[in-house]
Amino acid sequence: MAESVRADEVSAWYGKKLAIRDISVTMEPNKVTALIGPSGCGKSTFLRSINRLHEVVPGAKVAGDIWVGDRNVYGKDMDAVKVRANIGMVFQRPNPFPTMSIYDNIAAGPRLSGRAGKRKQMDELVEHSLRQAALWDEVKDRLKEPATGLSGGQQQRVCIARALAMKPGVLLLDEPSSALDPIASFKIEELLLQLKNDYTMVIVTHNMQQAARIADFTGFMLAGTDYVGELVEYGETTKMFSNPSDSRTEAYITGRFG
């Protein structure tokens, strides 16, 4: 079930360096929220704070609270491993597990988190997830083959299916199509539009056209002269791209910098 994501004064550090400061924002369930902004503005850092992946970098830490549904991800007795199991993540470069077949890649989440059921259930889960990722017809006859033998776009859809197999409420996407060619990239966009009815999606993108095409809401992040990323503006995508309220947003989306 899709859940809302609410960040409350989230700051994140790499060692002593502050990367993002006091980000507060609510992302609606069953909607696509895009995070845009120039390189180094902390979009990815913020995204990785949502599923507590930021803290796996040595020395990295986060302050503030993030609520997914009614649970505080940074609550006292919340376990980062459980948080990550309930939030799907897709990375910039397709990263299927190279030692595993297509089938095993999709089954990896339940298996790695100790949720794997019986063989038949797993077969159904794998098929369902691959259908969701619009990949079933392309790979159904070669499920036992290594996932790294697929094309880049297919590999990325394997990664999306792998995330969906965990039945997450939230799907985080860190520039999921930036490493792909335009056609594969377009297919990923189409897929995300199909999926948004069932998930809360947060997508980091460098591509403003992509944000305009698929996102219901958009957040614009920017690092100031102190190189600390902040959320400059957040709102409905149509409004942000037609009538931004902040002059910096306008400057960015009209291509004057970044």
Minimal distance, residue 98 CB to another protein, in Å:
5
- Please report the beta strands in 80-216, taking only residues with DSSP state E, as ranges in sequence order: 87-90, 170-174, 200-204
Interface residue with another protein among 37, 109, 153, 244 (CB under 8 A) is: 109
Which among 29-37, 91-99, 200-208, 222-230 is the span making contact with another protein, rule CB under 8 A?
91-99
| 86 lies in the binding site for another protein (CB under 8 A) | yes
Could you give the CA distance from residue 173 to residue 209 in angstroms, rounded to a whole number?
16
Interface residue with another protein among 5, 53, 173, 222 (CB under 8 A) is: 53
Closer to another protein by Cβ: residue 77 or 226: 77
| 7 lies in the binding site for another protein (CB under 8 A) | no
- What one-letter code names the amino acid at 202? V
- Residue 104's contacts (CB-CB under 8 Å, 6 or more residues apart) are 97, 111
Nearest to 205 by CA among 41, 26, 11: 41
Binding to another protein in span 150-209, by CB under 8 A:
155, 159, 162-163, 166
Could you give the CA distance from residue 149 to residue 19 in angstroms, rounded to a whole number?
37
Instruction: Please provide residue 220's backbone torsions phi and psi, each rounded to the nearest 5 degrees.
Output: -105, 120
| 128 lies in the binding site for another protein (CB under 8 A) | no
Minimal distance, residue 101 CB to another protein, in Å:
10
Closer to another protein by Cβ: residue 165 or 192: 165
Structure tokens at 119: 């063989």
Instruction: Please provide residue 116's backbone torsions phi and psi, each rounded to the nearest 5 degrees.
Output: -65, 135
Nearest to 73 by CA among 3, 19, 137: 3
Interface residue with another protein among 31, 84, 157, 187 (CB under 8 A) is: 84
| 113 lies in the binding site for another protein (CB under 8 A) | yes
| 44 lies in the binding site for another protein (CB under 8 A) | no
| 12 lies in the binding site for another protein (CB under 8 A) | no
Could you give the CA distance from residue 169 to residue 253 in angstroms, rounded to a whole number?
30
| 145 lies in the binding site for another protein (CB under 8 A) | no
20-39 in b/e form (b: 16+ CB < 10 A) is bbebebebebebbbbbbbee
Closer to another protein by Cβ: residue 61 or 239: 61
Interface residue with another protein among 23, 62, 108, 201 (CB under 8 A) is: 108
Query: How far from 123 is each of 103, 104, 114, 126, 228, CA to CA, in Å?
Result: 8, 10, 16, 5, 46
Closer to another protein by Cβ: residue 102 or 159: 159
Binding site for another protein (CB under 8 A): 51, 53, 56, 58, 81-89, 91, 93, 95, 97-99, 108-109, 111-113, 146, 148, 155, 159, 162-163, 166
